[in-house]
Amino acid sequence: MVRAPALSVRNLRVVYSDRNAQVTALSVDALDVAPGTLLAVTGPSGSGKSTFLYALAGLLRPKSGTVAWDGRDLLAGSESERDRWRRHTIGFVFQDFHLLPELTPLANVLLPASFESVSAKASLKDRAAGLLERFGVPSKRKSIADLSRGEQQRVALARALLFDPPVLLADEPTASLDASAGEMVAQTLEDLAQREARTVIAVTHDPMLIERITTRFQLERGQVRQTESAKALA
């Protein structure tokens, strides 16, 4: 079983320039997430949900604040240090999947190995194939274009889990999926947290997914407006 790190966010501010004005895209004073938590970040479009997720992964540098995983301030290290840490600690599921349509499902899952400058060893290929089988994806299709959108989302999930990361960050994981595909992805997220003790943080505006996740907080115009299940969050 994986060991997920605890998350501590303090005084996080993301600011961008809009003409002559400084606009605060995200402002989170304090947030603590226990290892193995399944957390939904909710709010309307443009509320800062994706920005928050990118900050947690160290994919953007905020104006101020700290994002600490097990006491390590992710923002204090160099870009290369963050990249190395992220590859083996965080699996990221992007809203638009970022799959390569000319590649097979298996080749898409194995893509992260190319960034590690290592060949896809037999054990890694076996893990990729096993993940596709677990998620019910027909791995022998010649390209991603031959898959449904729900199947493509599950390929993206499998790719995010290739290196067995203890943390999964998912950006609108059920967006534009039909009800059946959305339920399958939602159940997978629950299993990853509850059965495998991973920390899973999903930003979403999907009522079905929000209803299934009891630990959540709401963003509005970059500000935390509502927190539920305070036992897991501070």
Each residue's pLDDT tens digit, 117-149: 555 577 889 999 999 999 989 877 888 888 998
Alpha-carbon span 79 to 77, nearest angstrom? 7
Residue 14 clears pLDDT 60, i.e. is over it: yes
CB atoms within 10 A of CB 75: 16
CB atoms within 10 A of CB 22: 9
| Domain boundaries, position 158 | 35-58+78-217
Count of domains forming the chain: 1
Q: Residue 125: inside a domain, yes or no?
A: yes
CATH code of the domain containing 91: 3.40.50.300
CB atoms within 10 A of CB 19: 5
Q: Residue 223: inside a domain, yes or no?
A: no
**pLDDT of amino acid 112:** 87
Residue 3 clears pLDDT 70, i.e. is over it: yes
**pLDDT of amino acid 23:** 84
Q: What percent of the chain has pLDDT over 70?
A: 93
End-to-end Cα spacing for the chain: 26
Q: Residue 204: inside a domain, yes or no?
A: yes
Beta strands in the chain (DSSP E): 7-18, 21-33, 38-42, 64-69, 72-73, 90-93, 167-171, 199-203, 215-220, 223-228
Q: Residue 180: inside a domain, yes or no?
A: yes
Q: Which residue has the higher pLDDT, 20 or 25?
A: 25
The pair of three-digit structure tokens given for residue 4, joined into one six-digit string: 């997920």
For residue 220, report the phi and psi dihedrals to the nearest 5 degrees: -140, 115
- Mean pLDDT value of segment 6-11: 94
**pLDDT of amino acid 231:** 40
The tens digit of pLDDT for each residue in 42-91 reads 998 888 999 999 999 998 889 999 999 999 998 887 888 888 888 889 99
Residue 210, H or E segment: helix 207-212
Q: Residue 119: inside a domain, yes or no?
A: yes
The pair of three-digit structure tokens given for residue 191, joined into one six-digit string: 């299993």
